[in-house]
């Protein structure tokens, strides 16, 4: 790898053809873009739905909603009508030159557009073809439409919140879209590793429901793992007291799980003898009496301010941090210091998000703002070998012959 390539991220040289929209697919391709892949976002003439649904866009940048901006940075955009012959012509050229194809269209729609694995692998046998679907193709829900709220309710996420809050609720972010998008990116990278040794691409199916259900059950299958009538749910997490703890002036987040951490916690609160209490003397005992343990925490934390507790608990090696509201999170010195949250140059009032992860062997590409709709069409068409006249024709310009 040349020095120039190394400075562009570990996925430098990988081209990703991104036919995704909304959140789950763009989450996946964002991770690939932030690791150096050239992600070409193919948008329909009306644009990605999140351009309009993701919040109010600035007057000078229509179609650039906040949520769209944050999920589509570091990508390039081209607009194609995939139902038209011209769009089909371009997408097939792109597929022939791409390492990865990602879509969250339903399988039937992909097939009708000639973008399924069978069609594209005939053009490019080295392609990694990833379809993010609502449900696995070998189950009775195959082909049913799915959105994050549907999957949260079906997979048990909302039921977990019901157990804690007393009523079914959705997590206040598109949780399963995030989880499945991350899994899709990891699966794509695994397939690229396999291709390095076999020379062949492969098809990947990433179902939302099955992945979300496995995520919930790995945490909360509990004693049903071994017992037909066993209890489900991790009691440390499912108790209503598993939450930020009120202090004298706000809230604090404390996690004292191991025996050394519990010993440090009891010492910090001036009750070291509690380590000999049969309810608290080891991990198993504290799990069996988690309600008592959490009630004790809630009682003592009110005696000092958040800052006082954070300093004292850290001194005893107990994990503790202040609780953030959404506005206070923007002032966190760690986020600012690490450069993850930044004020974008040239954008007077814009806060941006940048790469959180670091690679010692390959730097990261310079962070770029999300693209305007079709912003890079001219350059992408030129890379595909289209001459000036054909580019003008495909872009609908007046200078087309």
CA gap 96, 127 in Å, rounded: 8
pLDDT tens figures, 185-210 = 999 999 999 999 999 999 999 999 99
Whole-prediction pTM: 0.92
Confidence of residue 396 (pLDDT cuts 50, 70, 90): confident
Range of weakest confidence among 58-67, 159-168, 359-368: 359-368
Range of weakest confidence among 234-248, 298-312, 376-390: 234-248
Q: Specify the pLDDT at position 64.
A: 96
Q: Specify the pLDDT at position 385.
A: 97
Domain(s) labelled CATH 3.30.1540.10 in the chain stretch across 245-322
Residue 2 predicted with pLDDT over 60: no
Average pLDDT along the chain: 94
Residue pair 335/329 in contact (Cβ under 8 Å)? The answer is yes
Residue 1 predicted with pLDDT over 50: no
Distance set, CA 298 to CA 171, 284, 323, 363 (Å): 24, 20, 15, 45
Residue 63 predicted with pLDDT over 90: yes
Q: Specify the pLDDT at position 347.
A: 54
Residue pair 51/79 in contact (Cβ under 8 Å)? The answer is no
Residue 70 predicted with pLDDT over 70: yes
Confidence of residue 32 (pLDDT cuts 50, 70, 90): very high
| Structural domain 3-215+341-394, CATH architecture | 3-Layer(aba) Sandwich (3.40)
Confidence of residue 349 (pLDDT cuts 50, 70, 90): confident
- When pLDDT is averaged across residues 95-102 and rounded to a whole number, the result is 98
CA gap 192, 188 in Å, rounded: 6
Q: Specify the pLDDT at position 7.
A: 58
pLDDT tens figures, 110-165 = 999 999 999 999 999 999 999 999 999 999 999 999 999 999 999 999 999 999 99
pLDDT tens figures, 217-270 = 999 999 999 999 999 999 889 988 899 999 999 999 999 999 999 999 999 999
| Structural domain 245-322, CATH architecture | 2-Layer Sandwich (3.30)
Q: What is the 3-state secondary structure (H, E, C) of the chain?
A: CCHHHHCCCCCCCCEEEEECCCCHHHHHHHHHHHCCCEEEEEECCCCCCHHHHCCCCCCCCCCCCHHHHHHCCCEEEEECCCCCHHHHHHHHHHHHCCCEEEECCCHHHHHHCCCCHHHHHHHCCCCEEEEEECCCCCCCCCCCCCCHHHHHHHHCHHHHHHHHHCCCCCCCCCHHHHHHHHHHHHHHHHHHHHHHHHCCCCEEEEEHHHHHHHHHHHHHCHHHHCCCCCCCCCHHHHCCCCCCEECCCCEEEECCCCHHHHHHHHHHCCCHHHHHCCCCCCHHHHHHCHHHHHHHHHHHHHHCCHHHHHHHHHHCCCCEEECCCHHHHCCCHHHHHHCCEEECCCCCCCEEECCCCCCCCCCCCCCCCCCCCCCCHHHHHHHCCCCHHHHHHHCCCCCCC
When computed from its CA atoms, the radius of gyration of the chain, rounded to whole angstroms, is 25
Domain(s) labelled CATH 3.40.50.10540 in the chain stretch across 3-215+341-394
195: number of CA atoms within 13 Å, CB side?
20
């Amino acid at each position: 790898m040349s020095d120039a390539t190394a400075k562009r991220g570990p996925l430098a040289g990988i081209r990703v053809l991104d036919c995704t929209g909304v959140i789950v697919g763009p989450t996946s391709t964002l991770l690939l873009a932030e690791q150096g892949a050239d992600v070409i976002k193919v948008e329909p003439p009306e644009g990605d739905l999140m351009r309009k649904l993701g919040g109010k866009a600035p007057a000078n940048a229509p179609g650039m909603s906040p949520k769209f901006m944050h999920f589509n940075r570091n990508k390039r955009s081209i607009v194609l009508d995939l139902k038209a012959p011209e769009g089909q012509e371009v997408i097939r050229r792109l597929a022939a030159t791409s390492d990865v194809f990602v879509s969250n269209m339903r399988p039937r729609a992909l097939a009708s557009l000639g973008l399924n694995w069978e069609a594209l692998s005939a053009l490019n046998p080295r392609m990694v073809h990833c379809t993010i679907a609502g449900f696995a193709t070998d189950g009775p829900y195959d082909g049913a439409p799915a959105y994050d709220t549907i999957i949260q309710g079906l997979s048990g996420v909302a039921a977990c919140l019901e157990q804690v809050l007393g009523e079914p609720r959705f997590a206040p972010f598109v949780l399963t879209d995030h989880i499945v998008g991350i899994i899709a990116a990891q699966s794509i990278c695994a397939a690229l590793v396999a291709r390095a040794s076999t020379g062949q691409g492969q098809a990947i199916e990433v179902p939302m429901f099955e992945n979300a259900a496995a995520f919930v059950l790995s945490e909360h299958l509990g004693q049903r793992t071994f017992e037909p009538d066993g209890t489900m749910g991790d009691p440390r997490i499912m108790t209503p007291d598993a939450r930020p703890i009120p202090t004298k002036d706000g809230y604090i987040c404390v996690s004292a799980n191991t025996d050394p951490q519990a010993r440090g916690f009891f010492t910090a609160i001036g009750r070291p003898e509690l380590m000999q209490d049969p309810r608290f003397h080891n991990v198993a005992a504290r799990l069996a009496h988690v309600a008592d343990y959490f009630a004790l925490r809630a009682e003592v934390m009110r005696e000092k301010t958040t800052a006082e507790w954070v300093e004292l608990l850290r001194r005893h090696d107990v994990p503790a941090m202040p609780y953030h509201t959404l506005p206070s999170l923007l002032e966190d010195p760690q986020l600012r210091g690490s450069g993850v949250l930044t004020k974008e140059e040239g954008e007077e009032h814009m806060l941006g998000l940048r790469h959180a992860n670091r690679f010692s062997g390959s730097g990261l590409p310079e962070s770029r703002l999300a693209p305007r709709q079709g912003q890079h069409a001219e350059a992408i068409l030129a890379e595909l070998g289209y001459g000036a006249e054909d580019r003008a024709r495909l872009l609908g310009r007046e200078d087309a012959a």
